[in-house]
Structure formats: C-alpha cells, structure tokens
C-alpha cells in the first residue's frame, strides 16, 4: 500500500507529508505535484513524486495505482473546485485505489455557508456515492487564517462580521497530523470526523490576547456582512471571494465554526495548539522578519 497525497507542495500538503514521515517509511509515500522543481525538497526526503494536476484526468489516473490510499486535499481555485475534485475521484476509482480521504469543511453536508455549498458538499456527495471506502475530514478554520495577518492587525485592528461568534480553530499542523493518522492507521474506513480546536475564541478575545502579547492595543470592530464584503473587495480581493469570506463570518456568528466534537485531539493523541501559542509564534516570526 502507498499513501498518496495530492496538492503535496501546498501549505497543508507539505505538513501532511512531514507528519507521515514520522509514522511510515518514505518509500510508502507518494506526492502528487504539478511542478517537480517545487517538489525537490520532497524528493530529497525519498518521497516518490507523481506528476499531475486536478484538471488532467489521464495524468491523475497514471498518478494513482491499485491499492493506494489517497488524500484529496481540496482545491483552491474558486468555481473549478467541484469539477477538479470529481476528476480526482474518477481517476482514483479507475486506478483501483483502496480508499480516499478528503479534506472537507466543518459542518459538511449540514453547513449553511457558501464555501460548503459551492465546494465541499458536492464533493462529499460524490464520494459517498462512489462506492469507494472513504474518510471525510471536516476541517475547521486554521488559526493561521488570522495570525498570518498579524502585521495588519497590529496597525489597523481587526474588522469582521462575526459578532460574538466563536471560532474553534486549530493549526495547520494539527489538521495535518489528523490526516496522517487516518491515512496510516486502520479503522477509519467510511468515517466522518468533525475537526476543531479544543478551545473556541471570539474576535474580541483574539484582539485582547494579541494586545496582551504584543503590548499594542488592538481592537475588534464588528460590521455588517455586506460592509465586510465591501472592505475585503476594496482591499483587493475579487468580489466573489470577498462575499464568500464575509459569509463565513456570518456562519461564525451562527455558531457553525465553534466545533467542540473533540475528534481532532482524539485523533492526534494530544491537545490541539491553543490560540495563545500560535499568536506567540506569529509575533516572534514578525520580529525576525523586521530585522
């Protein structure tokens, strides 16, 4: 059996492979990549490279082999994700893969926000109807979605439309570790996991913790969903994406990103990384980059 990770040079994919390398020999791991030059670091770790992208079914069929356990990491191209995901499923089935794990979103088929409806629900349904054994990883929000913007937050504060809604976030490393566990161990066939951090926080609490650690007063300004979409679009985000991200804040206010299942910490066998630790790392990185 070979564990095959798609989108392996992406932020999550690289971490999944790092986590797998701590659990299984490199000879049991293959990375599906578009650009072998970008994947040179993976090859240096003796991970097999298989060249394909989500738009090329024939190349995908060649990238998958009989008995492979495949991790389908969700795509990043708005408007094309569902078709691309179905290409991966079609190719994996044709090649004789033994199981597919998919990185979906928290709430899955029951989620009401646009990101779930437009990308993840169709993929989950196609996977459930495929007849292939599956594992669905319904990932909550990455803490880095916020801490990566820390320089801007320190200068301008936080603006959102989430009200007092809570985010049960965890780090990419936490989610990558969960993926590595379900790919490399038994007992996850036809399982669905709702993955979130052990503790949830509000944006006001985020601002307070950032203020405490940085020594800079940071506030949270709550606006309407429409106003947030306007702000994001004015900042350069394509209008459609701006509306999707603003809609996520509305879902946060409704409680759809709070999590609390405990699935993530149970899978990885440890507590998830707290917000305070991720903020500390982001601040340390910011200081390093400033000097």
Contact status, residue 49 vs residue 33, Cβ threshold 8 Å? yes
**Residue-number span of the structural domain to which 136 is assigned:** 3-140+171-195
pTM above the 0.85 mark? yes
pLDDT confidence of residue 291:
47
Residue 163 lies in a domain: no
Residue 221 lies in a domain: no
Residue 204, classified by CB atoms within 10 Å of its CB into exposed (0-12), middle (13-18) or buried (19+), is middle
pLDDT confidence of residue 32:
97
User: Which of the two residues, 12 and 119, has the higher pLDDT score?
Assistant: 12
pLDDT confidence of residue 288:
62
Residue 57 lies in a domain: yes
Residue 157 lies in a domain: no
Contact status, residue 13 vs residue 40, Cβ threshold 8 Å? no
pLDDT per position as a tens digit, 226-249: 999 999 999 999 998 999 999 999
Residue 249 lies in a domain: no
Residue 16 lies in a domain: yes
CATH of the domain at 31: 3.40.50.720
Residue 261 lies in a domain: no
pLDDT confidence of residue 79:
72
Domain count, the chain: 1
Contact status, residue 137 vs residue 179, Cβ threshold 8 Å? yes
Beta-ladder partners of 192: 136
Residue 255 lies in a domain: no
């Amino acid at each position: 059996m070979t564990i095959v990770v798609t989108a392996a040079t992406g932020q999550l994919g690289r971490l999944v492979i790092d986590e797998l390398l701590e659990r299984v020999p490199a000879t049991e791991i293959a990375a599906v990549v578009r650009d072998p030059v970008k994947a040179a670091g993976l090859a240096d770790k003796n991970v097999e490279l298989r060249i394909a992208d989500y738009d090329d079914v024939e190349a995908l069929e060649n990238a998958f082999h009989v008995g492979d356990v495949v991790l389908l990491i969700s795509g990043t191209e708005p408007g094309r994700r569902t078709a691309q995901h179905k290409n991966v499923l079609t190719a994996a089935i044709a090649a004789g893969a033994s199981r597919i794990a998919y990185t979906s979103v928290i709430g899955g088929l029951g989620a009401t926000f646009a990101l779930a409806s437009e990308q993840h629900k169709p993929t989950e349904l196609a996977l459930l109807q495929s007849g292939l054994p599956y594992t669905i990883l319904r990932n909550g929000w990455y803490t880095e979605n916020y801490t990566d913007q820390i320089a801007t937050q320190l200068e301008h504060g936080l603006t959102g439309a989430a009200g007092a809604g809570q985010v049960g976030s965890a780090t990419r490393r936490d989610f990558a570790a969960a993926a590595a566990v379900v790919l490399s161990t038994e007992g996850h066939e036809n399982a669905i996991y709702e993955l979130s951090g052990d503790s949830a926080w509000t944006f006001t609490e985020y601002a307070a913790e950032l203020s405490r650690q940085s020594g800079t007063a940071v506030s949270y300004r709550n606006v309407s969903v429409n106003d947030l979409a306007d702000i994001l679009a004015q900042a350069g985000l394509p209008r459609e994406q701006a509306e999707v991200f603003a809609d996520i804040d509305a879902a946060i206010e409704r409680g759809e990103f709070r999590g609390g299942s405990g699935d993530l910490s149970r899978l990885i066998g440890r507590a998830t990384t707290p917000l305070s630790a991720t903020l500390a790392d982001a601040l340390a990185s910011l200081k390093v980059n400033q000097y």
